[in-house]
Amino acid sequence: MKANVNLFWILAVFFVLVTGVYVYWSLAAAEEIEWVGTVALALSALLALFLGFYLNQVHRHQGGELPEDTLSANIDDGDPEIGHFSPWSWWPIIMAAGGALMMLGLSVGFWISFIAAPLLLVAVIGWTYEYYRGYHAH
């Protein structure tokens, strides 16, 4: 995690420097600040600062080094159980189709969203309650 913290601090400094160069360059070329790019670069620097600060706080309060931070660690040292995944579940595919239809409806024709909303609702409910009934009920 320490490598991630350092990476985000470096990215924050990079984006601050690039923002300064961008402002200077836009002033030299057009004699006025180009605000869209300046704000985008400044917000990128702010995002990298937020992420670096958050990861630094997590690293400081975790009570020890992670296996990824030690050079003598093996791959199996950092191999915890991540979670339970259903390899036979069709609900993520249905939810992806509903999300794609929703985005298509928002960008092309709003009437498509009326088809996508019930599909998304059924997919969320089906995926949530997948293990409450049937063969794999808990």
Segments making up each domain of the chain, as ranges: 2-62, 91-128
pLDDT at 36: 96
Q: Kindly state the tokens that stand for 109.
A: 């024709």
Mean pLDDT throughout 100-115?
94
Q: Where are the alpha helices (DSSP H) in the chain?
A: 2-30, 35-61, 91-107, 111-128
Q: 6 in helix, strand or coil? A: helix
Question: 25-74, pLDDT tens digit by residue?
Answer: 999 999 999 999 999 999 999 999 999 999 999 888 887 777 777 788 78
Structure tokens at 129: 């309650």
pLDDT over 80 at 87, yes or no: no
Cβ proximity of 102 and 116 under 8 Å: yes
User: Would you tell me how many other CB atoms lie within 10 Å of the CB of residue 122?
Assistant: 14
Cα-based distances in Å from 125 to 67, 122, 136: 38, 5, 16
* Cβ atoms of 97 and 126 closer than 8 Å: no
- pLDDT greater than 90 at residue 12: yes
Residue 104, pLDDT > 90, answer yes
Q: What is the mean pLDDT of residues 5-14?
A: 96
Structure tokens belonging to residue 78: 């950092």
Residue of 14 and 68 predicted with greater confidence: 14
